[in-house]
Structure 1
Amino acid sequence: MKWDEFAQWGRQIADWGRDYHENLRDRPVRAQTRYGDIAAQLPKTAPEGPEAMEQIFGDFEKIVMPGMTHWQHPRFFAYFPANASPPSMLAEFLVTTLAAQCMLWQTSPAATEMETRMLEWLRDGIGLPDDFHGVIQDSASSATLAAVLVMRERATDWRGNEDGLNGQGRLRVYASAEVHSSVDRAVWVSGIGRNNLVRIPTKGATRSMDPTALAAAIKADREAGFIPAGIVACTGGTGTGACDDIAGVVAVAKAEGLYCHVDAAWAGAGMICPEFRSLWAGIEGADSVVFNPHKWLGAQFDCSAHFIRDPEALVKTLAMRADYLLTPGAEDVIDYSEWSIPLGRRFRALKLWFLMRSYGMEGLRNRLRNHVNWAEDLAEKLRTHRRFEIVTEPVLSLFTFKLTGVDSDGQLAFVERVNNDGRIYITQTRVGSDMVIRFQIGQFDCTKDDIDTGYNVLCELAEAS
C-alpha cells in the first residue's frame, strides 16, 4: 500500500466509523452468530500474493461485522463499558500512525512526560493526595499483579525475585469474595498460590470486607506460621458493586505492617464527582490504587491508571536495567517500563490528553452523574413491577435484580432470551447461592431513551415468559 492509498482509505474508514456509530441503535447489541460461523469463512492459509484493499474491506464488512458484539452500542448494559469517545479514537489514530515504542524516556520524551502530567490530572480529578504517583498500565489486572508482586517482595525482604519462593515460607494475601477474579490470577501468577488467598467475610448492604474478621485472620495466620503479605480491597466490585470499608481495611494494614492495594477498576472513574467519594473514604491511606479510564471515563481501551504511594518499591520489584536500556547522561529521568510488567509501552497518555481537553472535567462528571441517576430511576421502576425484584441496590450505576417465580436456571434463561432479542445486552452474576440479573449503565453515548428502551424490553419479555 502506498501512502496516497493509505490517506484515501483513512478517510473512507473515518467516514465508515461515523456511520457505524451514528447507526448503532439499528444493530443487535450482541453478536448473533454461532460458534465457528466466522472461522468457516476464513481461508485455512494466507494468500501468496497481494489482494486489493476493496476486497479486504468488503470481506471485513461481510465476515467480521456479523460476529462483533458492539461494545459502543448505547444499549450495552452488560459487564462494564469499554468506552471509546471520538477524541480518544482520534488520538489512537495518531498513536498508531506514529507507531512509537515508548518504553524509555529517550524512546519518546513526549510520551513519558505527558504520561506523568496526565496521571497528575487524573489523580487530582479523583481526589487522591499529591503523594501518589501514577503510571498507565494496560489493564487493572496488570496493576493488581504488580501490586501483589510488591507485596511478595516486601514480605520476603526482597528475596523473591532473586531466590524464588522456596524456603521463604507460605505467604498470604487477603481479600473478600467480591474482588475481581484478576486478584486470584495475580496470586497464582506471582507464585504465592491461590490456596494462600484468604477470603475474608463481608457484611452489610455494601458487602464490604469485615475489618475485624480481617485482623483475626491475619493473627491466626501468624500464629500458624504463615507470612501475611498484603491486602486487596475493592471499590465497586464487578458482581454487585461491593465497596469495602477502605478506612477500616487500611487501619488493619497499617497496624499489621501490610501493603494495601485498592481495585477500583470501574468505580474509580466515578470519583471525579466529589459526592461519590464516600464510597472509598480512607483511600488516602492505601499503598496503591487502580482504576480504568477505558471503562467509564471514555478513553479508548486499553488505559489503566495505577497510582502508587512508593514508586521506589514498584521499581525495585519490576525494573530490569540491561545496558541497552540505559539513557546515558539522563539517569534521573522516569522510564515507565520499570513501573510495569511489559517492557514495551504504547503512547496511551495521548488519548487522555485529547479526552480531558475535549470534554473538560465537568463535562465528564455530568455524563457519569446522568448514568447514576438513570440507574436509580430504573431500579425504582423495576421495583414496582410485579415480575421483578431488586436484589442489590444501585451502587453508582450498577444494580442487580431477578425475575420473580423462577430459579437460577430460569434467571439464566431470561438473560439469554433478552440477549437473543438483540435490543439490549445484559449479564448475570451470583449473589450468595442465587443467580441474578446484573444491569449497569455506562456506555458513553447512551441517553435516557436508551434506558427507557431497556426497561420496556425487560418488561415485554418478562410478561411473555
Structure 2
Amino acid sequence: MDSDEFRRRGKEMIDAIADYHDSIRDRRPLADVTPGYLQELLPRVAPEQPEQWDDVFKDIERAIMPGVTHWHHPQFHAYYPAGFSYPSLLGEMLCDAIGCVGFSWIASPACTELETIVLDWLGKALGLPEAFLTNESDASGKPQCGGGVIQGSASEALLVGVLAARTRSVKKLQEKDPSLSVQQAMDKLIAYASDHVHSAFQKGGLLAGVRTRTLPTDDEFSLRGDSLKQAIEEDIKAGFVPCFVCATLGTTSFCSFDNLPEIGPICQENDVWLHIDAAYAGGALICPEFRHFGNGIEFADSFNFNAHKWFLTNFDCSCMWVKNRAPLITAMSPITTPAFLRNAASETGLVTDYMHWEIPLGRRFRSLKLWFVLRLFGITGIQNHIRKHIELAKRFESYMKNDNRFRIVGKRHLGLVCFQLKAGDDELNRKLLKQLNASGKLHLVSTELEGKAVLRFVICSAQTEEKDVDFSWQVISQTTTAILSRKKKEDEGLSKQHQ
C-alpha cells in the first residue's frame, strides 16, 4: 500500500467508522457468539501472498463485528464509560502516524513536553493541589517536586503507587536497621484499602510483593478513619509496617467514596503513602458542583483518574499525579542506565524522562489525543458531557423510585444506579439480568452485596439520550413483569400441590 492508496483507503475507513457510530443503535450492545466462533470464520494459517484490501475490508463486517460488544452503544449500561470522540480519534491517528517511542526527552521532545503541559492543564481543571503540578512554585517561590504522567490504566497507576511506597518504606527501614535486607524489609510491609476496592489493589500488592488487607466500610460503603486507624494499630503491634493506603473515589460496584478527610491525617501521622484511585469519579471534579467529592485530596501522595472514561478520550489514557516524584523515579529506575538510553539532555537534570515514571520503557504519544480533546471541546464541553450523563442517571433513578417492584441499593452517585427486585430471592435478580442481556436490547452487569446480586445501570455512551434511557427502562420493566408473572404462576402451582 503506497501513499496514494493509503489516502483512498484511509478515506474509506473514515467513512466506515463514521457510519458505524451513526448506525450503532441498529446493533446488539452485547455480542451474541460462542467461544471460538472466530476460528470457524478465519483460516488456520496466515496468507502466504498479499491479499486485496477489499477482501480484508469485507471481513471486518463478516468476521469481526459479530464478536464485538459495542461499548459506545446508547443501550450499553455495563461497567463504566469507555471514552470516545472524533477529536480523540484524530489525535490517536496522528500518534500512530508519528510512531515515536517517547521513553526519554530526546527520543521525542514534543512527546514529553506536551504530556507535562497537558497534565498540568488537567490538574488545574480538576482543582488538584498545586503540589501535584510540574510548572508551579510553592509560597516561597521554590519549584514543586510533583508532576503528572499518563499511564495505561488505573491498575498500572495503582501498581506504580505501591512500588513507590514500597521503595520509600524499605529505604526508611534500612536507615533504621542497616542489617535488614530488601526482602526482610518488604516482608514487614502491609497495604490497606476498603472491602469495596477494585481487585487491582490485590493484584498490585501481589506483583509488588506487599501484603494487602481490606477493611470494612460503613453503611454507605465508605472506608472511614476509625476502621483504618484500628487496623494500623493492630498491625504495628503485630510487627508489621503500614506503607500504603488505596482510597477509592467512586468504587466500581457502587460508586461509593472513601472518607479522605478522616483517612488522610491518619496516613500522615503514620507516614503511610496515600494513593487515590478515582478512575471513574475523578473526572467529575472538573465540575465545581462535584468538587466536594475530592475533599481531602490534599493529603494524598498520588492521585489517578481515567481520562479514557468520562473525558471523551479513547483508551488508553490514565492520568496520574504525584506530590513527590523522587520515590516514584527511584522505584522505576534501573540501578544503571544502559549506554543506549543515556543522553546529554537527561544528564542536565532539566528534562523529564517518563520511562522512569512507569512500568514499561516504551510509551506512545498519548497526550496528543488528550490535547485535541481539551482544545476542541474545552473545559465547558467536557463539563456539559458529564452533567448530561448524571442527569440521565437521575432520570433512570426516578423510574426506579416510582416503581414499588424495585429497591435502590445504596445512594446514587454520579452516573450509576444500583438496584434489585424486592420480591423473590437472589436467583430472581440473576434471572432478570440474564434475560435482559439475552434480549439483545441492552447490556448490564451485576455486582454483589453480602453475597446477593445487585444490578448496575450506568450511563456510558456519549450518544445516550433521554429516549435511550426511556427505552432501557421499558425493557427492564416489561422483562420484570414477565418474570414476576411466571413466578406468581409457579408459586400458585406449588400452593395447589400442597393443598
Place the TM-score, normalised by the shorter chain, in its bin: over 0.9
Tell me if structure 2 keeps the 8 A contact 1:126–1:272: yes
Tell me if structure 2 keeps the 8 A contact 1:77–1:425: yes
**Residue 323 (structure 1) aligned to one of 317, 321, 339:** 339
SS in 1 for 2:309: helix
Deviation at 1:229, TM superposition (A): 1.0
Q: Which residue of the partner structure matches residue 239 of structure 2?
A: 225
RMSD across aligned positions (CA) = 1.5
Deviation at 1:218, TM superposition (A): 0.6
Tell me if structure 2 keeps the 8 A contact 1:79–1:427: yes
Q: Which residue of the partner structure matches residue 68 of structure 1?
A: 68
Instruction: List structure 1 segments (4+ residues) > 3 angstroms apart after TM superposition.
Output: 166-169
Given residue 417 of structure 1, which amino acid in structure 2 is its aligned partner?
Q
**Residue 186 (structure 1) aligned to one of 199, 204, 221:** 204
User: Separation in 1 of the partners of 2:2 and 2:428?
Assistant: 56
User: Separation in 2 of the partners of 1:308 and 1:52?
Assistant: 49
Q: Which residue of the partner structure matches residue 407 of structure 1?
A: 425
Tell me if structure 2 keeps the 8 A contact 1:118–1:352: yes
2:212 pairs with 1:197: yes
User: Separation in 1 of the partners of 2:60 and 2:393?
Assistant: 36
Deviation at 1:323, TM superposition (A): 2.1
Can you give the 5+ residue segments of structure 2 that lack an aligned partner in the other structure? 133-146, 175-179, 484-499
Q: Percent identity?
A: 36
Q: Which residue of the partner structure matches residue 141 of structure 2?
A: none
SS in 2 for 1:250: helix
Q: Compared with structure 1, are the counterparts of its residues 101 and 226 closer, same or farther at alpha carbon in structure 2 (3 Å cutoff)?
A: same
SS in 2 for 1:393: coil
SS in 2 for 1:449: helix
Tell me if structure 1 keeps the 8 A contact 2:392–2:465: no
Given residue 50 of structure 1, which amino acid in structure 2 is its aligned partner?
P
SS in 1 for 2:36: coil
User: Separation in 2 of the partners of 1:386 and 1:228?
Assistant: 46
Q: Which residue of the partner structure matches residue 7 of structure 1?
A: 7
2:158 pairs with 1:144: yes
Query: TM-score by structure 1 length?
Result: 0.96
SS in 2 for 1:260: strand
**Residue 270 (structure 1) aligned to one of 257, 264, 284:** 284
Q: Compared with structure 1, are the counterparts of its residues 10 and 48 closer, same or farther at alpha carbon in structure 2 (3 Å cutoff)?
A: same
SS in 2 for 1:47: coil
Q: Which residue of the partner structure matches residue 360 of structure 2?
A: 342
User: Separation in 2 of the partners of 1:334 and 1:253?
Assistant: 29
The structure having more radius of gyration, on CA atoms, is 2
Given residue 461 of structure 2, which amino acid in structure 1 is its aligned partner?
Q
**Alignment coverage as a number of residue pairs:** 460
User: Separation in 1 of the partners of 2:118 and 2:232?
Assistant: 37
User: Separation in 2 of the partners of 1:154 and 1:377?
Assistant: 47
Deviation at 1:191, TM superposition (A): 1.1
Given residue 82 of structure 1, which amino acid in structure 2 is its aligned partner?
A
Deviation at 1:246, TM superposition (A): 0.7
Q: Which residue of the partner structure matches residue 460 of structure 1?
A: 478
Q: Which moved more, 1:163-172 or 1:424-433?
A: 163-172
Q: Which residue of the partner structure matches residue 442 of structure 1?
A: 460
**CA deviation map 1:315-351 (0-9, x unaligned):** 0110233221122144321011111111000000000
User: Separation in 2 of the partners of 1:275 and 1:167?
Assistant: 44
Deviation at 1:393, TM superposition (A): 2.1
**CA deviation map 1:407-449 (0-9, x unaligned):** 2222222112111212211110012221110111132221111
Can you give the 5+ residue segments of structure 1 that lack an aligned partner in the other structure? none
Q: Which residue of the partner structure matches residue 29 of structure 1?
A: 29
Tell me if structure 1 keeps the 8 A contact 2:170–2:185: no
Tell me if structure 2 keeps the 8 A contact 1:146–1:341: yes
Tell me if structure 2 keeps the 8 A contact 1:140–1:265: yes
Q: Which residue of the partner structure matches residue 495 of structure 2?
A: none
SS in 1 for 2:21: helix
Tell me if structure 2 keeps the 8 A contact 1:136–1:306: yes
Q: Which residue of the partner structure matches residue 248 of structure 1?
A: 262
**CA deviation map 1:141-162 (0-9, x unaligned):** 00000000111111211789x9
Q: Which residue of the partner structure matches residue 175 of structure 1?
A: 193
Q: Which residue of the partner structure matches residue 491 of structure 2?
A: none
User: Separation in 2 of the partners of 1:178 and 1:143?
Assistant: 18
Deviation at 1:170, TM superposition (A): 2.5
Tell me if structure 2 keeps the 8 A contact 1:165–1:191: no
User: Separation in 2 of the partners of 1:318 and 1:333?
Assistant: 17
Given residue 71 of structure 1, which amino acid in structure 2 is its aligned partner?
W
Tell me if structure 2 keeps the 8 A contact 1:71–1:83: no
Deviation at 1:392, TM superposition (A): 1.8
**CA deviation map 1:224-263 (0-9, x unaligned):** 1111111110000000011000111111100111110000
Tell me if structure 2 keeps the 8 A contact 1:200–1:210: no
**CA deviation map 1:390-412 (0-9, x unaligned):** 11221111120012323222222
Q: Which residue of the partner structure matches residue 368 of structure 1?
A: 386
Q: Which residue of the partner structure matches residue 497 of structure 2?
A: none
User: Separation in 1 of the partners of 2:448 and 2:345?
Assistant: 56
Given residue 389 of structure 1, which amino acid in structure 2 is its aligned partner?
R
SS in 1 for 2:412: strand
Q: Which moved more, 1:436-445 or 1:113-122?
A: 436-445
Tell me if structure 1 keeps the 8 A contact 2:166–2:186: no
Q: Which moved more, 1:320-329 or 1:70-79?
A: 320-329
**CA deviation map 1:158-203 (0-9, x unaligned):** 789x9652464331101111111111100000012xxx31111111
Deviation at 1:129, TM superposition (A): 1.4
- 5 Å-filtered alignment, 1:53-132, equals 53-132=53-132
Deviation at 1:369, TM superposition (A): 0.8
2:406 pairs with 1:383: no
Given residue 326 of structure 1, which amino acid in structure 2 is its aligned partner?
R
Tell me if structure 1 keeps the 8 A contact 2:243–2:273: yes
User: Separation in 2 of the partners of 1:144 and 1:165?
Assistant: 21
